[in-house]
Amino acid sequence: MIFIRSALFNCLFYANTVALMIIGFPTMIFGRRAVLSLARLWSRSSLWLLRVICGTSAEFRGLENIPKGACIIAPKHQSFWETFALVNYFDDFSYVLKRELTFIPVFGWYLLRAEQIAIDRGNAQTALRQLVAKAQALFAEGRQLFIFPEGTRRAPGAPPAYKAGVGYVYDKTGVPCLPVALNAGLFWPRRRFLRFPGTIVVEFLPAIAPGMQRGAFLQELQGRIETATDRLIAEAARQSKAAAIGTSTPTPQDPV
């Protein structure tokens, strides 16, 4: 049944995405905020499909820790899920993303109209300078910036590989950073077709105030995210084992 439900969800997820891009095309006339509203509608409808079809719900903890105004949002990156699921809690956000995504027809147009930050990762130093300049302009407007500290998805339990970029932006811009822990990779595994039932937990941790030295900041950020993420993974594993007692229902993938 998990295979059938996953197949149905994946079909409807992409159909919903395409339909919203077509129906929502006029939002590009009205600018960034209209496009971001469409993104939040896509997020909510996708979460609904995932819950109804696959039995995968979401719990968001620590909402009181979200700063008001400009901040860096630094989520753990385990799957595609968090790229769309977190946007409901931020009103005027931008993602740091690779420039190649803006070349995708229609989808790339939305990214550009939503004023997302696309960088050329071919030259690391140039990319960092461009990122800081764009981030400073964005923060001056009171907006929020998503940066995945590890840059790419990593499986639950994999050794952390934090990059210097988030520390560089934090150091140069002087805004708080919101660490975000999660266990989404257990239920929406990277590079896999299956979607497992259960509850994805996201925890917004206390923000790190500006002013720390770059190295100390990166150490603090990694420590907070990894400690909380390990706890959420362990919590999900205990719940899966408890739910599986007396049944033969497959459970989410164990950490690797």
Please check the confidence at residue 249 and state whether its pLDDT lies above 50: no
Give the span between the Cα atoms of 55 and 32, in whole angstroms.
Answer: 33
Please indicate, yes or no, if residue 23 is contained in any of the structural domains.
no
Q: Which residue has the tokens 């970029």?
A: 165
Give the span between the Cα atoms of 232 and 205, in whole angstroms.
Answer: 13
Give the span between the Cα atoms of 44 and 38, in whole angstroms.
Answer: 10
Structural tokens at position 149: 């500290």
> In this predicted model, what pLDDT tens digit does every residue of 47-89 receive, in sequence order?
999 999 999 999 999 999 999 999 999 999 999 999 999 999 9
> In this predicted model, what pLDDT tens digit does every residue of 88-124 receive, in sequence order?
999 999 999 888 999 999 999 999 999 999 988 777 7
Please indicate, yes or no, if residue 157 is contained in any of the structural domains.
yes
Cα-Cα end-to-end distance for the chain: 24
The string of DSSP codes covering 233-249 is: HHHHHHHHHHHHTT---
- Predicted local distance difference test score (pLDDT) of residue 99: 87
Contact call for residues 107 and 20 (beta carbons, < 8 A): no
Please indicate, yes or no, if residue 249 is contained in any of the structural domains.
no
- Which residues make Cβ contacts (< 8 Å) with residue 137, sequence separation at least 6? none
Give the span between the Cα atoms of 148 and 150, in whole angstroms.
Answer: 6
Please check the confidence at residue 255 and state whether its pLDDT lies above 50: no
Please indicate, yes or no, if residue 231 is contained in any of the structural domains.
yes
Domain count within the chain: 1
- Predicted local distance difference test score (pLDDT) of residue 21: 96
> With pLDDT > 90 as the criterion, what percentage of the chain qualifies?
82
Sheet strand arrangement including 144-146: 56-61, 198-204, 177-182, 71-75, 144-146, 93-98, 117-119
Q: What is the mean pLDDT of residues 241-255?
A: 57
- Predicted local distance difference test score (pLDDT) of residue 254: 47
Please indicate, yes or no, if residue 9 is contained in any of the structural domains.
no
Please indicate, yes or no, if residue 37 is contained in any of the structural domains.
no
Please check the confidence at residue 247 and state whether its pLDDT lies above 60: no
| Residue 95 identity (one-letter amino acid) | Y
Contact call for residues 166 and 149 (beta carbons, < 8 A): yes
Where residue 243 falls among pLDDT bands split at 50, 70, 90? Answer: low
Please indicate, yes or no, if residue 2 is contained in any of the structural domains.
no
Q: In CATH, what number is assigned to the domain containing residue 86?
A: 3.40.1130.10
Among 133, 98, 128, 104, smallest CA distance to 116 is for 98
> In this predicted model, what pLDDT tens digit does every residue of 128-175 receive, in sequence order?
888 999 999 999 999 999 999 998 999 999 999 999 999 999 999 999
Where residue 253 falls among pLDDT bands split at 50, 70, 90? Answer: low
Residue 115 domain boundaries: 55-244
Q: How many CA atoms lie within 13 A of 117 on its CB side?
A: 25
Please indicate, yes or no, if residue 153 is contained in any of the structural domains.
yes
Nearest-5° Cα angle at 75, 177 to 6: 160
Contact call for residues 132 and 173 (beta carbons, < 8 A): yes
